[in-house]
Structure 1
């Protein structure tokens, strides 16, 4: 394909070839991709036929033939007679503008928000795992739809969720050390990723896009002092706006070691206070569903009867498990007669000392050998998960397991978790201790 580029360049330099108006400054004749090529020229007969002749010569030399049925020619401002002659000679079909290439609309006018919205939503949702997926300049509406889909999936496992979230999205988008789930704020992350484009222009990165921007927008003016005109495309104005947003980061020396999207994102979101319970909640010894439950409890976000009553719902506020006191988180874990009995049965089975009140404080300040602390914390989180599960079962089915049976389920959870651990990371003392508890 490099040979094709050289042939087109040669034809452009030796004959009366005229470049496309937006390609003239950089003398662009073609852009190549993995399995296709885009060629550009002015809409006159000589230039169009030179493109076709060069490609024909390339095909004869290389043996690579164009699939005319899969190729289109796009015209703008070309008379019908010339258009008909070109299609007849080339065998191409006439394509209609706008068309989509690599999922993006190609058209003669500048891109608007509505041109990007639907395609970008689907593409980004399918590519959220990719670092480069968010190098797009995303409209705010697209970002909101992405966040709504992620938020709904978190709480309901699908794209639809019609109830109030248990935890605010801003909190969810904080790192785990700050009480969140480690998800990224998509609006700030998009600014940080678009900042990569800003940095490429500022550092004059060796890329065709940067060269094109300098030739058609900046025109030898200073990027730092440049202001987009009102008739510029929405995408270009957005890039210039991001430049202003992150300008303070440069002036304050935040990016003195070179621009990185991660560093810019951290600067944009600002520092938050770390929570003291994150190690106890997110420890790898805890089952994932127990970690999530512990995280909700740490945020006091469970919809207990007391909380539902505070929302104005028609509930009496009493505990479903014991019916003896108002159902609050503090009551459930573990002041409730049922949950206290579960803890007592669990201590009887394991022989471990576990808390009966102020659970998170106990987990944070739990003492002993490392493995012992982790096992105790894992059992406490498992107990909270199963107590809440029994509470929900009592509310819906009017049925609840005996405390002794619930304690056995918690103990079984712990055994399965320990069997999954790499025993090579445990010393002899820790293995002996787990053996005495019948966890091995």
Structure 2
């Protein structure tokens, strides 16, 4: 690739070659991504002839030949006649946008909502697979964090997703967590906006879509500021210090006080199920009978099912119930 890049640079110095209008100021002619090569140039006969000659010289020197069946040419602002004339030289199939690279649709213009259909399709497919399983809240949290948001973050790592797509992903995750029956969702113990806040604020830490997307793309700005002699360094010049962390930047976009109990709730020594139940208890979000009564759910009794003396509440369940007090005494002995 380095030898081919040098040949392309030498070819760009010939009088008949013209740079692509968007690449002229930086004199960019090619970009390499893993085993893929993208070449930019003005769509005129002279430039096409030079590019073809470069590939012929590369083949004669190395014995490696471009696979025309796996290569495409993309035009912009040309008539059908001009395209046909250039294709006679290149012998390449004309491509169309969006094109896919590593499963991600690419286009030269602003991303459209239709380009994100693949991420929504994949998430819905996973949810359909899990719908027949009896999962606890803690299990659902693990799947949302590691799988569903992992899919979302893969795309956010590259693009600024449309707001409508981010909202749709959040809605699918919310329905999966709290439950959804057709067009009607079940009782939400905590609003999704709070659930997405960082764990240091005492919540589940899913990451609010728009802010998390911006925090993830912030790493490119950090990379620009800390790498020397790169293409990005030529485009943008800035300076900063320290090591970039997505979570830290995201946390700075949230203006709320830290929860003093977060280290206790999210201790690494606890199993996921215990973490989730403890988080619910600390925030009074367990489905105790007094809580269900407040949301107008019909119950046969609101008394504690253990002692049957006092209405069941968070305070009674953990501190006042005779059975709870007995358990605490046995633990302390």
Give the structure-1-normalised TM-score.
0.57
Q: How far is 1:57 from its partner?
A: 1.8
Distance change (3 Å), C-alpha of 1:31 and 1:118? same
Cα distance in 1 between the residues matched to 2:214 and 2:192: 18
Q: How far is 1:70 from its partner?
A: 1.5
Q: Which moved more, 1:265-274 or 1:304-313?
A: 265-274
Q: Which is helix-richer, 1 or 2?
A: 1
Count of aligned positions: 305
Secondary structure of 1:100's counterpart equals strand
Matching of residues 49-128 of structure 1 within 5 Å: 49-102=49-102, 103-107=104-108, 110-114=109-113, 116-118=115-117, 125-127=149-151
Query: Once the two structures are superposed, what CA deviation does each residue of 1:373-400 show, in whole Å capped at 9, x if it has no partner?
Result: xxx49xxxxxxxxxxxxxxxxxxxxxxx
Cα distance in 2 between the residues matched to 1:315 and 1:114: 45
Q: Which moved more, 1:27-36 or 1:320-329?
A: 320-329
Q: 1:136 maps to what in 2?
A: 159
Distance change (3 Å), C-alpha of 1:128 and 1:96? closer
Distance change (3 Å), C-alpha of 1:151 and 1:86? same
Matching of residues 394-409 of structure 1 within 5 Å: none
Residue among 313, 329, 333 paired with 1:328: 313
Give the structure-2-normalised TM-score.
0.73
Distance change (3 Å), C-alpha of 1:205 and 1:162? farther
Cα distance in 1 between the residues matched to 2:82 and 2:149: 43
Give unmatched runs, 5+ long, in structure 2.
124-147
Q: Which moved more, 1:322-331 or 1:290-299?
A: 322-331
Query: Once the two structures are superposed, what CA deviation does each residue of 1:170-228 show, in whole Å capped at 9, x if it has no partner?
Result: 443444454223443333232333344455667896432453x56xxxxxxxx89xxxx
Is the 1:113–1:139 Cα contact (8 Å) retained in structure 2? yes
Is the 1:319–1:327 Cα contact (8 Å) retained in structure 2? yes
Distance change (3 Å), C-alpha of 1:138 and 1:206? farther
Larger radius of gyration: 1
Q: 1:304 maps to what in 2?
A: 288
Is the 2:201–2:257 Cα contact (8 Å) retained in structure 1? yes
Q: How far is 1:276 from its partner?
A: 4.2
